[in-house]
Amino acid sequence: MSNLPNCPKCGSEYTYEDGAMYVCPECAHEWPQVAAAATSDERVIKDSNGNILQDGDTVTVIKDLKVKGSSLVVKVGTKVKNIRLVEGDHDIDCKIDGIGSMSLKSEFVKKV
């Protein structure tokens, strides 16, 4: 039949799903569903200090980075706002003032 968990508050077996929550009709207790499968598929990108990065974060460059195909250099301490996380070796897309659109590796930035 159903493999829904029993209510942790009253032990009722008549629980049901409501969106991302389980609900007990007997005692009206609600608790979140554990989404173990969804969290294991997500890719976690961390900065050089181990902080988790998200889209829209502001980061600082921790090492002078040469821009390939140009004589420009991204200096240590350059603040990069509103980053976008992408798949691939260079996992951060951003715009840097004076240089333009770039891709960075997360190992060369730290979260502000």
What is the CA angle 103-110-79, rounded to 5? 65
pLDDT digits (tens, 9 = 90+) for 25-54: 999 999 888 754 444 456 789 999 999 999
Q: Count the neighbouring beta carbons within 10 Å of the beta carbon of residue 94.
A: 19
Proportion of the chain above pLDDT 90, given as a percent: 62
CA distance 56 to 81: 7
CA distances from 17 to 29, 47, 70, 105, 109 (A): 12, 37, 56, 41, 42
Proportion of the chain above pLDDT 70, given as a percent: 91
Q: Which two tokens stand for residue 73?
A: 């250099």
| CA-based nearest residue to 27, from 5, 6, 45, 12 | 12
Q: What pTM was computed for the model?
A: 0.62
